[in-house]
Structure 1
Amino acid sequence: MEVLDILIIGAGPIGLNCAIEAQKNNLSYLVIEKGTIVNSLYHYPLYMRFFSTAEKLEIDGIPFISTAPKPGRQEALEYYQEIARQKNMNINLYERVLKVHKNQDFFEIETTKRKYSAKNVIIATGFYDIPNFMHIPGEDLPKVKHYYKEPYPYARQKVVVIGSSNSAVDAALETYRKGAEVTMIIRHSEISRSVKYWVKPDIENRIAEGSITAHFNAEILEIKDQSVIFKDQHNQVQEIENDFVLAMTGYLPDFDFLTNSGIELNGDCLNPTYNMESMETNVPDLYLAGVVCGGKDTHLWFIENSRVHAEMIIRNILLKNRDH
């Protein structure tokens, strides 16, 4: 069986960047991705625009040409997928990694299709796969959506949006403008300060004028077939009629996969253990790259500030190879 120099888990922007660095340095590699190339971006809302400008999303110095100051989902998909085509990357799509095990000499990687061997493994899986569940009655009803794609299904419906971050604000504004009756349930006292600066005044004005109802310092208690029950800022329990719930409560890395791979998690945020200079975890030759490094703190790493992980990892691998 061939023993790869590197097996990369995840074909997001950072996983692709790791593949580019491996190619540059003549290291044998394979990228395994459970979906399509930049799968998380593919599942973003159709009309989503990035907070970052195009140049901050570039990898390997390849220009990202955008027609707008802030590129959108479609442009990003074209950019990253075209890079994968141009570079003729070794990528297996629609294959999920089930297990990573380190034996004495190398890693054994088991997927839904076959087994692989590699000297080094890079986990670049992001955090968009697992919703941050609220664990309340009714959360499993079909009317509850943890992913928002586009506003059209919610026209003329009573929609509750849970959350106050970018995804919640986008969902609230877009569904409102397509004719939904929107109520936001927000556990904080204000709209998140991390909301895109050109969107924040819009949602605040819509709330101020009463076009969108917002309950701050509120807590969702139960979701029923035709209503939602929540506790308002005065600790009063309210029940309102409802057709759909968009639970924009955030997403989490696959912590079970990380721990089963031997990576130690720390503190309330379950921060993975890794070396800040090499990105190597407590498991020798097992590396982390990209937003997965932040644990529950999913606002810590972005494409623009984790692009450097690829060079750091490959530099460390080459250094080890030289020392051996």
Structure 2
Amino acid sequence: MHIYDVIVIGGGPCGLAMGVELAKSGMDYLILEKGNLTESIRNYPRRMRFFSTAENIEIGGIPFAISEVKASRNEALQYYRKVAGYYNLNFKLFIDVDRAEKQPDGTFLTYTNDGQIFQSKNVVLATGYFDVPRLLNVPGENLPNVSHYYDEPFKYSYTNVVLVGGSNSSVEAALELYRHDAHVTIVHKEADFRTKVKYWLVPDVKNRVKEGKIHTRFNSVTEAIEPGRMLIRNTETGETEWLPADFVFLLVGYLPDEHLLTRCGVELDPATKVPTFNTENFETNVPGLYLCGTVMAGIFTEKVFIENGRDHAAAIADHLAGREIRTVKELIDRI
């Protein structure tokens, strides 16, 4: 069996950034991705634009040219593929990893769900967080008209759509759905939209609410979902209400795959799910096993993005190569 210097699990922006740094360092590596490259971005809403400016999500020193102020989903998909091609990154696609196990000789065996095994001296987990939605654990959450991912508006024209959540994903979906003739209601547990909503969306959504074109139920939580309707409860008054709901989007966030981490031997904080790792070189409690990107954030996924996650790759590569570690922006100090 060929022994790689490094197996990188995850082919998103941070996994690709890791591959670039390893390629620059002359290491023998392989990226394993369970979908296609940047699969999580491919699953974003089709007309989504990034909050960050293009230079903040560039990787590998390759400029990211865009047509407008903010990059679109399609532009990002094309950009990261071009970077992968430019560096001739070594990857295998549609390989779903089950676990990586440290062996008595110090190497790792990475097992896939289709029976393949890869051997390496080190492993980097760069699996992000978009694959595991936060669950409400309410009756009806698994109904076919309920989803944790919003795609595009045309399917939902002239239907009753309920969006649960008050952050970017919910606000963007609400505005797009309203403009494509859906009857939209936002249910949010707080008294107003989240403060981190993209600044250019705030006046738009608040004006639509004021006009009665988008409906809101603040200070409200979901109690149950049934075909065609949804039960909510006001947390201040205790009153319940059935909302018409042909479709329901539970856009309340996502989490890293804690089960994959534990199967790899990584220790997690029981409350926050933050894994144990060295904040300078990102090595976990398992020597030779590293974390890159949002996978290290536990429940605090809002603290690690492409912007700072891409910097982890350089620090990991420096540590693996025995070089002095380049400074990483301290944007995870509260994790």
- The TM-score range, normalised by the shorter chain, is over 0.9
Query: Corresponding residue for 1:26?
Result: 26
The CA deviation at 1:300 is 0.6
**Superposition pairs for residues 297-316 of structure 1, below 5 Å?**
297-316=300-319
User: Is it true that 1:156 corresponds to 2:158 in the alignment?
Assistant: yes
**Equivalent pair of 1:95/1:113 in contact (CA under 8 Å):** no
* Alpha-carbon distance in structure 2 between the residues aligned to 1:34 and 1:268: 28
Q: Counterpart of 1:200 in structure 2: which amino acid?
A: V
**Equivalent pair of 2:66/2:75 in contact (CA under 8 Å):** yes
The CA deviation at 1:220 is 0.7
Q: Which moved more, 1:64-73 or 1:105-114?
A: 105-114
Query: Corresponding residue for 1:109?
Result: 110
C-alpha RMSD over aligned residues: 1.0
The CA deviation at 1:240 is 2.0
Q: Counterpart of 1:300 in structure 2: which amino acid?
A: K
Query: Corresponding residue for 2:184?
Result: 182
The partner residue of 2:284 within 273, 281, 286 is 281
Structure 2: runs of 5 or more not aligned: 324-335
The partner residue of 2:225 within 213, 223, 226 is 223
SS in 1 for 2:123: strand
4+ residue runs of structure 1 moved beyond 6 angstroms? none
SS in 2 for 1:109: strand
SS in 2 for 1:183: strand
SS in 1 for 2:64: coil
* Alpha-carbon distance in structure 2 between the residues aligned to 1:168 and 1:241: 18
Query: Corresponding residue for 2:12?
Result: 12
SS in 2 for 1:4: strand
The CA deviation at 1:179 is 0.5
The CA deviation at 1:99 is 1.5
Query: Corresponding residue for 1:122?
Result: 124
**Equivalent pair of 1:151/1:174 in contact (CA under 8 Å):** yes
Deviations 1:107-146 (A, max 9, x none): 0111125111100000000000011111100111111011
Deviations 1:274-312 (A, max 9, x none): 101000001000000001111111101011112111110
SS in 2 for 1:266: coil
Query: Corresponding residue for 2:195?
Result: 193
* Alpha-carbon distance in structure 2 between the residues aligned to 1:226 and 1:243: 5
The CA deviation at 1:171 is 1.0
**Superposition pairs for residues 252-263 of structure 1, below 5 Å?**
252-263=255-266
Deviations 1:76-121 (A, max 9, x none): 0010011111221111000111121001220011112511110000
In percent, how many aligned pairs have the same letter? 42
Deviations 1:5-36 (A, max 9, x none): 00000011111111111111111000000000
* Alpha-carbon distance in structure 2 between the residues aligned to 1:60 and 1:230: 47
**Equivalent pair of 1:102/1:108 in contact (CA under 8 Å):** yes
SS in 2 for 1:205: helix
* TM-score, reference length from structure 2: 0.94
The CA deviation at 1:211 is 1.0
SS in 1 for 2:303: coil
Query: Corresponding residue for 2:43?
Result: 43
Query: Corresponding residue for 2:214?
Result: 212
SS in 1 for 2:120: strand
Q: How many pairs were matched up?
A: 320
The partner residue of 1:265 within 262, 268, 272 is 268
Q: Counterpart of 2:318 in structure 1: which amino acid?
A: R
SS in 2 for 1:272: coil
The CA deviation at 1:269 is 1.8
Query: Corresponding residue for 2:98?
Result: 98
Q: Which moved more, 1:262-271 or 1:294-303?
A: 262-271
**Equivalent pair of 2:158/2:182 in contact (CA under 8 Å):** yes
Deviations 1:184-207 (A, max 9, x none): 110011101111111111111111
* Alpha-carbon distance in structure 2 between the residues aligned to 1:128 and 1:57: 17
Query: Corresponding residue for 1:132?
Result: 134
Q: Counterpart of 1:62 in structure 2: which amino acid?
A: I
**Equivalent pair of 2:60/2:83 in contact (CA under 8 Å):** no
The CA deviation at 1:267 is 4.6
SS in 2 for 1:184: strand
The CA deviation at 1:162 is 0.3
Structure 1: runs of 5 or more not aligned: none
The partner residue of 2:298 within 290, 295, 298 is 295
* Alpha-carbon distance in structure 2 between the residues aligned to 1:147 and 1:306: 23
SS in 1 for 2:4: strand
Query: Corresponding residue for 2:89?
Result: 89
